[in-house]
């Protein structure tokens, strides 16, 4: 995968650089670049050289992370190489510059390797005419569906037609019609008419997702993308083909006819469905999340993300979200509830408080909780969540911030080992106050007898003995969550929190990459970002202050937590920084 | 800019000649109305004004000659509308399919806030489906703000029919024709 390719280039010895000219400007380009699939060095192509020179070459079938096929012909450029005399020695112009022998024919820049002294011409009249011709051919059988096409607004065919095409069509014959709204799989709808046969989707699913599900059937202008009859296109990465599709042929069933893309506000965010922490863009309109799309980060997810993570956004807009601050079931205000809680915590004897924080909280929130923990001498832990992993992106750890919980000191390397201690503490009456953040602890609670039985049989760590009966023994159960559950119903103090899309913060992924995410939509009702009210609470209990903003909070945390030493909110950038874990 | 006023002439400073001149116009119209029946005003609510053909009145949605919704919910009018008077709810995945064959899509809801509308005609100009037209209604009344937000049903009822090229239907016919070989152009 791309991540493998990246690490390889880092460790490999520096590659030889060669000089080429792009539109008259000389640049230095590495002689080889890693192959997107195998990671082995392969000769640099003209389109890569043009990209380094920041000279855009329009293309459809070429994609930097996919194998090259060179079938769309959109990236045709003219080029020349230093001329050689009959003696195989370079020929020079009278002014001493090497004489360039221009190639009589153009070449596709995606598949032609560069050579020393090569000159690439991307904007000659000939190249412009070729682009116009290629676009005209592509548009011959392309329906003018833009009004009902989901891709409109982010369609490469639209964009290149405006930039490089003709303003009117000369084609008067009937267009070839192909099937529309073909059900390819559970998440994908195909409109065969719109397809320009670039085969990006075929290459992606074969070479990246490892599921050779798609192919081209029929002949000539009746060419159509299809699956084997009766075989659905249903691997966990199918929706990436929708992003890859330069036109509106492959559309997401989830996003189909939902919103025109030009209305979407795009916010840089992260996927929270597993520990990988894929970089995403949240598309939202008027405080409603419409879709997630992957954001390129070669250190984490490349340009891809899995379907499960991509579709895991609907819970954020659920109607039954927690919207009110509740004190013993009665509606209250933030000020009243926080004052009452901080009084309680301040007077609590050492060791009488326990904290169960979720590894779905951000680094900052977990750090603030660790400050409370230090002040109160509390026992703390998180709840592990595991599931199936795959070879590409999905991690076995289903918590987005397991390493954050470890590094801030909320839990030990093995998450969940303190839960027994907390359960015993409550049972013996030592622990009187329990603070629970973002976890429905009852859900995985089993009675003590059963737990003992189970621990001898298997190694289930995410089950524990904190049952509803135990919770009833507490003096104060302080719960913050986003959605209602059994634990929130038992809470004495219920503090409505925010989903990651409604606040800012950072997560530390399974590989120790600290990445930040931004706020896309407003939280419903009285719900407040956890770090905001935790900051108030920490200030009232410990007197520690100095971080009224997310930037200040992160920087204070970075100075305090050894693993985050030297980090600053601003230096994280959009793609994050890897720390030692 | 400073405008220099010419000083009044002696005749103008006399004041009365201008009064008499004005009265003359009044009396001329009074005479024409009373004795020659040449009316220059209109008994408005009872009498209606002949609206010129290129008048830009309220925008309404139109139906095609078969009585189907022409709008495909492309939301270009919503995008272009300067006062943001238009609000479209797209059908989404589970929404109703278009009532026209082959068009795939029609709005689940289409609202125009007539209090916001400035009758600029951008929506009509941008519409790729010839589905919205500024029509001749100029007197829009309602007893509440909510009443002045016209929904899809109301807009379609008021808009009437606009016969035009039925491109989606033609496309389907063209596609059906290709199912038989040899393909006829």
The DSSP code sequence of A37-59 is TT--EEEPBHHHHHHHTT-----
Interface membership of B170 toward A (CB under 8 Å): no
Give me the count of residues in chain B: 185
Count of structural domains, chain B? 1
**Strand arrangement, sheet containing A288-294:** A265-270, A279-285, A288-294
> Is B39 a domain residue?
no
Interface membership of B126 toward A (CB under 8 Å): no
DSSP B4: P
Quickly count: other Cβ atoms within 10 Å of residue B126's Cβ. 15
E strand segments, A295-449 = 325-327, 330-332, 353-357, 379-381, 433-437
What does the pLDDT average to over B73-87? 96
DSSP A208: I
DSSP H or E run through A134:
helix A125-140
The residues near B138 (Cβ < 8 Å, ≥ 6 apart) are: B51, B55, B57, B58
> Is B45 a domain residue?
no
Do A274 and A309 contact (CB within 8 A), yes or no?
yes
Question: Does A254 sit within 8 Å of B171, measured CB to CB?
Answer: no
Return the residue of A nearest to B107 by Cα. A257
pLDDT tens, N- to C-terminus, chain A (581 residues): 444 444 444 555 678 999 999 999 999 999 999 999 998 999 999 999 999 999 999 999 999 999 999 999 999 999 999 999 999 988 999 998 899 999 999 999 999 999 999 999 999 999 999 999 999 999 999 998 899 999 999 999 999 999 999 988 899 888 999 998 899 999 999 999 999 999 999 999 999 999 999 999 998 888 999 998 888 899 999 999 999 999 999 999 999 999 999 999 999 999 999 999 999 999 999 999 999 999 999 999 999 999 999 999 999 999 999 999 999 999 999 999 999 999 999 999 888 999 999 999 999 999 999 999 999 999 999 988 888 999 999 999 999 999 999 999 998 888 888 888 898 899 898 999 999 999 888 877 776 666 666 555 444 556 777 888 888 889 999 999 999 999 999 999 999 999 999 999 999 999 999 999 999 999 999 999 999 999 999 999 988 776 788 999 999 999 999 999 999 999 999 999 999 88
Question: Does A256 sit within 8 Å of B72, measured CB to CB?
Answer: no
Interface membership of B129 toward A (CB under 8 Å): yes
pLDDT digits (tens, 9 = 90+) for B94-115: 888 888 888 889 999 999 999 9
- Name the β-bridge partners of A18: A29
> Is B10 a domain residue?
no
| pLDDT at residue number A54 | 94
pLDDT digits (tens, 9 = 90+) for B57-68: 999 999 999 999
Q: Which residues of A touch B (CB under 8 A)?
A: 143, 146-148, 152, 173-177, 180-181, 253-260, 262-263
Mean pLDDT, chain A, whole residue set: 90
> Is B9 a domain residue?
no
Of B92, B102, B177, the CB nearest to A257: B92
| Ramachandran bin of A546, using left for φ above 0, alpha for ψ from -120 to 50, beta for the remaining angles | left
Return the residue of A nearest to B103 by Cα. A148
Residue B172 burial (C-beta neighbours within 10 Å; 0-12, 13-18, 19+): middle
Spatial distance between the Cα atoms of B103 and A249, rounded to a whole number of angstroms: 16
Spatial distance between the Cα atoms of A204 and A64, rounded to a whole number of angstroms: 12
- Chain A nearest CA to B128, separation (Å): 7
Q: What's the token pair of residue A252? A: 């997401």
Q: Report the predicted TM-score, pTM, of the whole model to 2 decimal places.
A: 0.86
> Is B29 a domain residue?
no
Spatial distance between the Cα atoms of A294 and B11, rounded to a whole number of angstroms: 83
For the residues of A22-42, what is the DSSP string, one character each?
ETTEEEEEESEEE-TTT--EE
- Name the β-bridge partners of A443: none
- Domain span at residue B150? 59-168
B95: domain CATH number is 3.30.70.3270
> Is B150 a domain residue?
yes
> Is B3 a domain residue?
no
For the residues of A71-90, what is the DSSP string, one character each?
-S-TTEEEEEEE-B-TTS-B
Question: Does B73 sit within 8 Å of A146, measured CB to CB?
Answer: no
Question: Does B177 sit within 8 Å of A260, measured CB to CB?
Answer: no
ipTM of predicted complex: 0.83
> Is B109 a domain residue?
yes
Do A237 and A205 contact (CB within 8 A), yes or no?
yes
- Chain B nearest CA to A324, separation (Å): 29
| pLDDT at residue number A414 | 83
């Amino acid at each position: 995968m791309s991540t493998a390719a990246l690490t390889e280039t880092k460790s490999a010895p520096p590659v030889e650089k060669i000089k080429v000219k792009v539109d008259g400007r000389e640049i230095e380009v590495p002689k080889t670049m890693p192959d997107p699939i195998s990671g082995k060095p392969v000769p640099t192509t003209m389109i890569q050289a043009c990209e380094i020179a920041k000279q855009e070459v329009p293309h459809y079938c070429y994609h930097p992370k996919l194998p090259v096929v060179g079938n769309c012909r959109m990236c045709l450029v003219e080029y020349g190489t230093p001329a050689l005399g009959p003696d195989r020695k370079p020929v020079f112009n009278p002014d001493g510059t090497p004489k360039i022998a221009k190639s009589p024919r153009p070449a596709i820049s995606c598949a032609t390797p560069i050579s020393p002294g090569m000159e690439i011409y991307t904007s000659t009249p000939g190249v412009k005419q070729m682009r116009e011709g290629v676009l005209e051919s592509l548009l011959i059988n392309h329906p003018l569906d833009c009004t009902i096409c989901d891709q409109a607004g982010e369609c490469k065919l639209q964009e290149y037609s405006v930039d490089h095409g003709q303003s009117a069509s000369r084609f008067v014959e009937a267009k070839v019609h192909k099937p529309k709204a073909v059900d390819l799989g559970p998440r994908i709808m195909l409109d065969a008419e719109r397809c320009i046969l670039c085969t990006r989707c075929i290459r992606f699913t074969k070479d990246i997702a490892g599921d050779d599900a798609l192919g081209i059937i029929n002949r000539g202008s009746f060419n159509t993308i299809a699956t084997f009859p009766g075989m659905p296109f249903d691997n966990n990465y199918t929706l990436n083909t929708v992003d890859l599709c330069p036109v509106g042929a492959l559309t997401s069933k989830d996003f189909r006819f939902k919103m025109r893309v030009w209305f979407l506000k795009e916010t840089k965010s992260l996927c929270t469905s597993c520990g990988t922490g894929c970089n995403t863009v949240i598309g939202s309109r008027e405080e409603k999340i419409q879709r997630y799309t992957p954001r390129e980060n070669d250190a984490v997810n490349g340009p891809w993300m899995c379907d499960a993570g991509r579709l895991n956004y609907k819970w954020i807009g659920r109607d039954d979200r927690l919207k009110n601050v509740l004190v013993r079931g009665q509606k209250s205000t933030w000020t009243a509830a926080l004052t009452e809680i901080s009084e309680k915590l301040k007077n609590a004897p050492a060791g009488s408080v326990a904290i169960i924080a979720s590894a779905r909280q951000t680094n900052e929130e977990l750090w603030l909780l660790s400050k409370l923990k230090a002040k109160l001498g509390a026992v703390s832990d998180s709840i592990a969540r595991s599931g199936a992993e795959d070879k590409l992106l999905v991690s076995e750890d289903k918590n987005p911030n397991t390493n954050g919980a470890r590094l801030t000191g909320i839990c030990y390397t093995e998450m969940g080992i303190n839960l027994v201690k907390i359960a015993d503490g409550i049972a013996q009456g030592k622990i009187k106050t329990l603070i629970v953040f973002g976890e429905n602890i009852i859900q995985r609670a089993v009675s003590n007898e059963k737990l003992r039985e189970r621990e001898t049989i298997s190694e289930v760590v995410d089950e524990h003995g904190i049952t509803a009966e135990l919770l009833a023994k507490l003096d104060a159960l302080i719960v913050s969550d986003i959605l209602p559950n059994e634990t929130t119903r038992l809470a004495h103090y219920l503090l409505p929190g925010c989903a990651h899309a409604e606040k800012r913060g950072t997560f530390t992924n399974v590989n120790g990459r600290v990445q930040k995410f931004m706020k896309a939509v407003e939280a419903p009702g009285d719900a407040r970002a956890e770090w905001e009210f935790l900051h108030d609470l920490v200030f009232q209990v410990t007197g520690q202050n100095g971080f009224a903003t997310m930037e200040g909070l992160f920087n204070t945390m970075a100075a305090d937590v050894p693993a985050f030493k030297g980090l600053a909110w601003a230096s994280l950038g959009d793609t994050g920084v890897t720390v030692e874990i | 800019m400073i405008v220099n006023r010419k000083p009044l002439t002696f005749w103008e400073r006399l004041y009365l000649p201008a009064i008499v001149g004005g009265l003359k116009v009044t009396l001329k119209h009074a005479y024409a109305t009373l004795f020659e029946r040449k009316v220059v005003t209109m008994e408005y609510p009872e009498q209606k004004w002949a609206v010129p053909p290129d008048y830009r009145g309220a925008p309404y949605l139109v139906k095609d000659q078969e009585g189907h919704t022409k709008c495909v919910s492309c939301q270009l009018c919503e995008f272009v509308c300067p006062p943001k008077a238009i609000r479209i709810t797209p059908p989404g995945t589970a929404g109703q399919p278009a009532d026209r064959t082959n068009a795939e899509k029609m709005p689940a809801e289409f609202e125009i806030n007539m209090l916001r509308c400035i009758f600029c005609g951008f929506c009509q100009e941008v519409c790729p489906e010839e589905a919205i037209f500024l029509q001749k209604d100029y007197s829009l009344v309602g007893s509440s703000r909510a009443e002045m937000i016209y929904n899809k049903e109301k807009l379609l009822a008021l808009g009437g029919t606009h016969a035009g090229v039925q491109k989606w239907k033609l496309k389907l016919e063209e596609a059906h024709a290709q199912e038989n070989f040899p393909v006829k152009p």
